[in-house]
Structure 1
Amino acid sequence: MVRHARTPAAVLFDRDATLIVDVPYNGDPDLVTLMPTASEAVAAVREAGLPTGIVSNQSGIARGLITAAQAEAVNARTSELLGGFDAVRYCPHGPDDGCACRKPRPGMVLDAAAALGVDPADVVVIGDIGADVAAAHAAGARGVLVPTPVTRHEEVEAAGAVATDLLAAVRLALAGGAA
């Protein structure tokens, strides 16, 4: 299938290791540190007049390592540092719970697109692992992978669009280059 380049109607970001430095099962908003270029990347999406969102797996809730209130506090701190988001969705389930929302399943992407009033086909999801891109594709959206040292080689190889950092990912998405 050939996809034609087009500007997205919204951009959704993974949270951990994409917008903020990954602190495993972080429930402490004081530990939130932005990833390099995160401020510039989110600002570029806003300057393009597009809504933004967060879609994040938070299995620490299901594992009993953090509470939903703690996950929401970290989301709130992330939003505070980056100027707010139009939609924030997180999956509180564990990997074996079989929910529809946990990435690589499409639930959070579909729900965020609906909340933003945009067609999922006009959404770009930016994340650091293959599950982020797979969730985008499962929802009919496009994805851009921003690899980190923990991103597996096969995830990079399978991604249709890869960027060196978050700002480069946003520029690619805004230019219609997401896959």
Structure 2
Amino acid sequence: MDMKLLILDRDGVINHDSDAYIKSLEEWIPLPGAIEAIARLSRAGWTVAVATNQSGLARGYYDLPTLEAMHARLRQMVAEQGGEVGLIVHCPHGPDDGCDCRKPRPGMLKAIAAHYGLPLAGVWFVGDSSGDLEAARAVDCQPVLVKTGKGQRTLAKTLPAGTLVFEDMAAVADHLLS
């Protein structure tokens, strides 16, 4: 079975990001075209997984049931358009916890690969931050930057060699489905 896997960061790629964190279901607002893009990819046979740093859990800004409600909303919205969201993994730790999962470390990407029994080499990891791109490079994923979220700020920095750049998730889907 030749499975097509795509891994996405969440905040700033799928939904609006905030420097004050996304702390409630009300604050979880999809970016224009993102839900449609995920559904289109899913309908075309792509498995779309998500790897998201959620240090707000460690900081006490929201709890796990709140995070799970956001992800249930994401799944529901994509399902309404005939698609599905694959595995969602999150890092609950703070930046000083020394975990292996918080991007730029690639632990979450490895967990997704293990779940699906797939090698990560060449798999696209779409993010909006340097940490996303560095996590991708660490496991030989294809780093992909979208200009949504922190993407414009990230674009101003030095990007890892070979990084692909797109306007948003809709443009990523257009490219993969063309």
- Aligned match of 1:119: 119
- Aligned match of 1:160: 163
Residues paired across the two proteins, number: 169
Letter in 2 for 1:164: E
Cα deviations by residue, 1:53-86 (Å, 9 ceiling, x for unpaired): 1110000011111112222221221222222421
Structure 1, unpaired ranges of 5+: 1-6
Letter in 1 for 2:35: S
Instruction: Report the 3-state secondary structure (helix = DSSP H, G, I; strand = E; otherwise coil) of the residue aligned with 1:61.
Output: helix
Letter in 1 for 2:44: A
- Aligned match of 1:93: 93
Change (3 A) 1:78 1:38: same
- Aligned match of 1:11: 6
Q: Give the drift of 1:146.
A: 0.4
- Aligned match of 2:16: 21
Q: 1:169 aligned to 2:169?
A: no
- Taking the aligned partners of 2:136 and 2:3, their CA distance within structure 1 comes to 13
Instruction: Report the 3-state secondary structure (helix = DSSP H, G, I; strand = E; otherwise coil) of the residue aligned with 1:17.
Output: coil
- Aligned match of 1:62: 58
- Taking the aligned partners of 2:159 and 2:33, their CA distance within structure 1 comes to 20
Structure 2, unpaired ranges of 5+: none
- Aligned match of 1:76: 72
Contact 2:51 2:109 in 1 (8 A): yes
- Aligned match of 1:108: 108
Letter in 1 for 2:56: G
Contact 1:26 1:71 in 2 (8 A): no
Choose the corresponding residue for 1:36, options 17, 32, 37.
32
Q: Give TM-score scaled by structure 1 length.
A: 0.83
Letter in 2 for 1:168: A
Cα deviations by residue, 1:140-171 (Å, 9 ceiling, x for unpaired): 21121002363331055866111011111233
- Taking the aligned partners of 1:22 and 1:106, their CA distance within structure 2 comes to 21
Q: Give TM-score scaled by structure 2 length.
A: 0.84
Contact 2:128 2:149 in 1 (8 A): no
Letter in 2 for 1:86: G
Instruction: Report the 3-state secondary structure (helix = DSSP H, G, I; strand = E; otherwise coil) of the residue aligned with 2:40.
Output: helix
- Stretches of 4+ moved more than 4 A in 1? 155-159
Q: 1:137 aligned to 2:148?
A: no
Indicate the RMSD between aligned Cα atoms, in angstroms.
2.3
Cα deviations by residue, 1:118-160 (Å, 9 ceiling, x for unpaired): 2111421111111112111112211210023633310558661
Contact 1:15 1:55 in 2 (8 A): yes
- Aligned identity (percent) is 36
